[in-house]
A and B are shown apart, each in its own frame.
Chain A
C-alpha cells in the first residue's frame, strides 16, 4: 500500500496524497482550542477592566495634545480669515434643517398632486350624470 502511494501519489480512496494534511489537522485542533480560550478570556470582567483602563489612559494622555491642536488650528484659521470647524459644523446643521423643510414641502406637493388626481378622476366620473339633468331642464323650457 505504501509503495502504491509513493508511486502514483494517490491514497487508497483515490484522493491526492497530501503530506501536510496531518500537520494541518494538528494546526486546526490547536487553533480551535486557542479560539475557545480567547472567547472565554474576553468574556471576563478582568478583560473588560483592563481594556477599559487602557482606553481611559489613552484618552487622558492624549487630551492635552488634542486641546493644543484644536487651539492652534483655531488660531491659524482665524489668522487666515477662514471658517473654523465649529463654523462648518454649524453650517452643515443648518443645511440639514433646510433639507427637512424642503422635505416637508415635497410631502405637501405629493399630497396636492394626489388630491388633484383624485379630483380629476372624480370629475370624470361625475360629469355624464351631471350633464343629463341639466339637458333635461333645458328641454323642459
Chain B
C-alpha cells in the first residue's frame, strides 16, 4: 500500500513537470522591451532609434546602426531586460539605431542584395544622419546583415562610415569541404530556380529546418532535454523561453536574395573573388576604408570561422582587428556569457573610435 502511494506521488510529480514543460515550450514571452521610436519606414523595413538614457554631453557623438540578418527577427539584440545588447549599448551612451527588415511578402520576391544595399540601407542612413545631425556613423552587421554591411561599405565608401563591425560574417565561400551548407546547395542536388518558382520567397520554415538540421540532435533533442532537466531552475527556464520565442519566430527570405546567396556566394564565391556585380558595380572589398572589427564565434556551425577571416586581408582599412570568442553563432551575442565577453569588447573597441 505504501509503495503504491510512493509510485502515485511519482506520477503526480511527472504530471506536474509535463504540464510545466508544455507551458514553457509553447510560451511566448515579452521581448524587445528597450524603449525605441520608429523614425523611418520603407516597404516592410523600419528604422528605430532607441531612446537615450544618458544626457547628450555624455553620449558618443557617432551613432551606431545595427543591421541584422534578413531571415530572423532583430530582437535577438534586445531579447529581455538585463540580457539585452541594445540595452547595454544604450546605457554605455551610444546613439543607437536598429534596421528591422520586416517580413517580405509575395510582392517582394524579386528583392535582391542590390535593393537592400543600394536602396534601403543608404536611405535609412540618410535619415539616421538627419536625425542625429552628424555626417559620420558606425555600422554593425550580423550574419547576413554583415554581408549587407560589407557590400554597402565597399560600394559607398564615401558615405561617412567610420567604424564597421562584422559579427559572424559569411563572406568567404572558398572552403566547400568542411562546411555543410555548400554541399546541400550544390547544383547537382539542389535546383534553386525550381524551388523559387514554387515558393516565391524562401519560406521561414524551410530556412529554419536548414539551420536546425546542421545539428539535428542538439536542436531537436538536447535543446528540450536541457529544459526538462532544468525545469526547477527559473533562470534557465526564463532564458529558454525568451530564446525559444525568438527561434520560432522566423521570417521568409526574399527569393531574389536567396538565389544570389546560393548562386553568387555559396556556389561561386564571387564576393571574395572580386567578381560580384551589384547593379552593374563590382563589389571591390579594397574600397573599404572604415575601421574594421571582425568577430568570430569559435563554435559557430552556421558561419564557421573560415568564412569570416579572409576579409581582413582584402580591405584597405588601416585600423582592423579580428576578435575570436568562444560560443556559437547566436550565443556570442545572446548567450549567458555575452555580457562578460562580447559586449564589453564591442563597447571598448567602438567607444575609442566614436569620439
Contact = CB atoms under 8 A, between A and B. Distances in A.
Interface in A2-32: 24, 31
A99 B102 CA distance: 16
B184 A51 contact: yes
Given A52-B190, A63-B198, A92-B107, A100 B119 contact: yes
Interface string B212-228: 01111110011001000
B123 A96 contact: no
Contact of A89 (B41, B106, B127): B106
Interface in B183-235: 183-184, 186, 188-191, 194-195, 198, 213-218, 221-222, 225, 229
Interface residues of A, number: 36
Contact of B222 (A31, A85, A106): A31
A79 interface: no
Contacts of A35: 215, 217-218, 222
Contact of A39 (B188, B189, B215): B215
Contacts of B41: 99
Interface string B229-244: 1000000000000000
A43 B180 contact: yes
Contact of B43 (A44, A56, A66, A96): A96
A53 B188 CA distance: 10
Interface in B134-161: none
B222 A53 contact: no
Contacts of B229: 24
List the 9 shortest-distance A-B pairs measured between CB atoms, nearest first: A52-B189, A92-B107, A35-B217, A48-B183, A89-B107, A110-B130, A43-B180, A96-B43, A48-B184
Given A48-B183, A88-B107, 15 more contacts: A31-B221, A31-B225, A34-B217, A35-B215, A38-B215, A38-B217, A43-B180, A48-B184, A48-B189, A51-B189, A66-B198, A92-B105, A96-B43, A100-B119, A110-B126
